[in-house]
Amino acid sequence: MEETERTLDTPAPADVPAAPPAAAEDALPAPEAAAAPTVIGPDCFVDRELSWLQFNLRVLREAGDSAVPLLERLKFLSIYQNNLDEFFMVRVGALIHRGIVLPDYTDQKTGWNTATQLRKIMREVARQQETERAVYTGLMQDMAAAGIEVVDFRRISKVDESIARKFFAEYRQLLTPRIVDAEHPMPFLDNREPFVAALLRKREKQSLGIVYLSRMPAYRVYEDEGKQKVLMTDALVRHFAPLLFKKHEVRSTCTIRVTRNADVFIDENMRAEDEDFRSSMEKLLKKRKRQQIVRLQILGKPERHLRELLDKHLKVPEKQVFLSSVPFQLSFGGALNAKEDMKFPERHSVRTVALRKGDYFRYLERNDLLLSFPFQSMTPFVELLYEAADDPEVVSIRITLYRLAASSKLAAALAYAADQGKDVLCLLELRARFDEKNNIDYSEMLEEAGCSVIYGLPEQKVHSKLCLITRKCGDAVKFITQIGTGNYNEVTSEQYCDLSLITSDEQIGRDAAAIFEALEQGQIPEPTEKLLTSPLAFKPRLLELLDGEIAKGSAGFVSIKVNSLNDIDVMRKLIDCSRAGVTVELFIRGICCLRPGLPGFSEHITVRSVVGRYLEHSRIYVFGRGEDAAVLIGSGDLLNRNTQRRVEAFTYVTTADTRRQVLEVMEALRRDDVKGWDMCADGSYAKSPAPRGQSSQAYLFDFFAQQRAEPLPPEKKKRRGLFRFLFG
């Protein structure tokens, strides 16, 4: 799932332990410090990386919220860990690289150099570990009260010891213990894989022992006396380590795990020198596996000499080494027999579109169709592709693909359309991080099925969610265009809140055709009339729309929902809006580098983050109020990468029904005092102490269940008179 809660020295909710107080040099300046200047400066902004870490802390708070079902809390804790892994692999890896290549670089918002950023990141992660430990401890206590225990070998019963010994005997032949000494160098540690490390002694000589766990299941679940018990494999191996190193005395053990830099750099000459870009990407993926270690995690309390041996052989800087008391693998919730109240009540996407294959073209010629995930099913869009595949008037299907499900029904529909003789073009972005291999495999499959496959532009990732169906109806050319905020992925459409607009608007279709024509020729799309694309058209138009609200003064209104915000030009313009008296409300799930509520700067700006059961992912832009408001949706956030380095696509939402539905999403977020966090002037986040309403996601499930799309009645055939029958 790509990705700030209360200030770190503000008390947290009663059931969630607060993080330790911030060090003085890491503390955010008080809002009063930013009120005196008249020039927009660093005090108005928050560092991008620290803002993301605060977002992940809000995820962690969900794991500590007693109102969340027990196993869902465990899932949130696992999500927190996975998010942090990716943060180190991508963001920290890139910062370390930048610090080497550009040591004098400073951030344009905060003025910090890379060394300062990295120091603050490491300190914040270390502080969050204390909250993670407290949340995990509280969670284990609640699970134990519910009859679920994680076996603790420090106080294991005889029965559990006997069961553990049996499991270890089953695993023994799969375990490969190694000794690291002068004749046996340190083995390569795979990214994010756990290993058991042991301090060994033999005849007064100390050495390091390493045990691979990559072929092992992470845990075993069994029942004893009515309780469900979880046996973590790394703890099991540590307990029986003396049986693996029989000729040595085992003095100390711990579990270790390394995180490696995954930010591979693509040589811009690669395309010119290598005709097969797909093969080049495969080489880069192999390179990623062996990149620099950016973090070492140690689970347990290793003896000093064991720490020294790990430092000697791994050479990870001390500030990038983190001692943990929380297991690295927490996915065992799915293996438990869960009581009904331990999980969220089951809710599935509702099929509110009553159209069937053969109904779509007639319906769309008269109506726009808006789909909202996960509240509504993605199936209608897949059915539309099948209808296009079988319609003799359809000439071509063009689509941009960024992330696909492992077993994609949409890809199957595209392959079927190609088999039916349609001209199917798939722009498949091979650089979708951590989905590169999946996309490489799909590019081969789609080519074999008869689709034309092209890749993204050399310097811009194609991140747009755009599909164009072209029909030849007599002498006329007609279009059906789909513009979305999220990927064409049936799995994530059940987990991410996204929007998908399908329209037969002729100008939007012509704009989409021009965009695809540019992409096929390896060019950045030029500005078009109704579809706004980045990097050339969207940001200038966005700034114009903000200027339009500034001209209205206190009557102006801006409401934006995105995942992240750090574009300096956009943030400065939003401050201009606030200074003009414009009401600005921002719904930003993750990174927000703009501080709201600063007197004289952003006092008319509010920022809210919703963190709940589903990942908020839709991008919505509203300028003005009432019928004159401009409403847009699209694929891009307000990060520099979206406005400057990616091809994104946005469209105006113009029909009364679709506008009403989009605006209802914004209204639901506005009312959410259950899962909504409000950003304060000092960059911290606060949650409503006494929620009285309903979470926005729960409300939208009910709202979109009522939004129906029914087939049009069949057209009445005109009766032919006798004269027409005789003479035509």
* Residues labelled as active-site residues: 463
Reduce the DSSP state of residue 641 to 3 states and report it: helix
Q: Give per-residue burial for 409-436: e unless 16+ CB within 10 Å, then b.
A: bbbebbbbbbebebebbbbbbbbbeebb
Distance CA 44, CA 515 (A): 37
Distance CA 367, CA 648 (A): 25
φ, ψ of residue 623 to 5 degrees: the values are: -125, 115
Distance CA 619, CA 97 (A): 31
Residue at 698: amino acid letter: A
Cβ contacts of 571 within 8 Å, gap of 6 or more: 44, 45, 109, 565, 593, 594
- Which is it for the CA torsion 63, 64, 66, 67, positive or negative? negative
Q: Which two tokens stand for residue 611?
A: 């963190």
Distance CA 586, CA 605 (A): 7
The answer to whether 270 and 280 have CB atoms below 8 angstroms apart is yes
Which long-range contacts does 215-220 make (Cβ < 8 Å, 24+ apart)?
215/174, 216/171, 216/174, 216/175, 218/194, 218/329, 218/331, 218/332, 219/329, 219/332, 219/335, 220/167
What's the N-to-C CA distance of the chain in angstroms? Answer: 63
Q: Which DSSP helix (H) or strand (E) runs through 102? A: none
Helix/strand/coil percent split, the chain, to 5:
40, 25, 35
Distance CA 309, CA 256 (A): 13
Cβ contacts of 612 within 8 Å, gap of 6 or more: 62, 674, 675, 695, 696, 697
Identify each DSSP E strand in 434-508 by its residue range: 452-454, 461-462, 466-473, 476-484, 496-503
Which long-range contacts does 651-656 make (Cβ < 8 Å, 24+ apart)?
651/483, 651/501, 651/503, 651/508, 651/530, 651/531, 651/532, 652/530, 653/368, 653/370, 653/501, 654/368, 654/505, 655/367, 655/368
Reduce the DSSP state of residue 398 to 3 states and report it: strand
Q: Which DSSP helix (H) or strand (E) runs through 292? A: none
Identify each DSSP E strand in 186-314 by its residue range: 194-202, 205-212, 219-224, 227-232, 249-260, 293-299
